[in-house]
Amino acid sequence: MEPFDIFMPTYNSAELLPIVIPQIEKVIPREAIHNKFIVDDFSTDNTCAVAKSLGWTVYRNKTKGLCNSHRLGFSLIKTGYCALFEHDIFLAENWYPTIPNMVTSGKYDVAQGIQIRNLKGFREVDLYDYNHRNIKSEDNTFYRIRNVPDQMEIKGRKYCIRKDVVSTHIRKGTLKSAKHGYYVTKLHGPVTSKLKLLIILLHSPLLSLAIYRKYKEPATLYCYPLERLYTFIGGL
């Protein structure tokens, strides 16, 4: 396998980088990495200094926003393949070479594992979601680089989700995890209509009950409805 570039969008990630970066470098052999860098989105802590101390190159986002961080990151790739990791992912031990092999073999254009939150209630919600849906994300994703403006465009691309490659999505506290959907929806806009968001919110107690029956974790009874409430508010 030819060496590939790795990049990570960051924002106020100083506390997480000493956890997630060593794990990435433990899982992926040094000889497989061509270049490793962060694209920092105007952090107000010492994210950039921490990344440099860990041996990663630092680039600063030109225009605020996660999507702009992604665009800049992809524009800096010098290899035929690249890996994109979020700053709060503790990478699965079997991510390499499983995920890259799905793409370099020619079978797929994009491949990823799944990520499960580390909090009771939300962990079971994620497990339920991944058992019932194919969820595409940019948390631990491997790309074949194309000569197109938007590397993240998945229309027409062969996409693989390996549910046996399970990374940990680091979250700090129930409320912060529940509010994540609010911030994402507020920043990027709702991916569906307000009416659909309301229907999902009203249905969430029933679904949380189904998740509780499957996994027997009481925290699911309030974690999922709370998350859907914040996402609904973010979409207003």
91, 181: one domain? no
55, 120: one domain? yes
Residue 187 has pLDDT above 90, yes or no: no
165, 85: one domain? yes
Task: Tell which of 151, 169, 187 closes a domain.
Answer: 169
12, 127: one domain? yes
48, 162: one domain? yes
Enclosing domain of residue 76: 4-169
- DSSP class of residue 14? T
In the chain, the DSSP E strands lie at: 4-10, 33-40, 57-60, 81-85, 89-90, 110-117, 140-144, 159-169
16, 111: one domain? yes
Q: What is the pTM of this model?
A: 0.92
- Of 30-44, 143-157, 168-182, the poorest mean pLDDT is in 143-157
20, 67: one domain? yes
Q: Buried b vs exposed e over 92-127: b needs ≥16 C-beta within 10 Å?
A: beebbebbbebbbeeebbbbbbbbbbbbebbbbbbb
Cβ atoms of residues 124 and 211 within 8 Å:
yes
Q: Which helix (H) or strand (E) holds 151?
A: none
**What percent of the chain clears pLDDT 90, i.e. is strictly above it?**
82
C-alpha 52/C-alpha 58 separation (Å) is 7
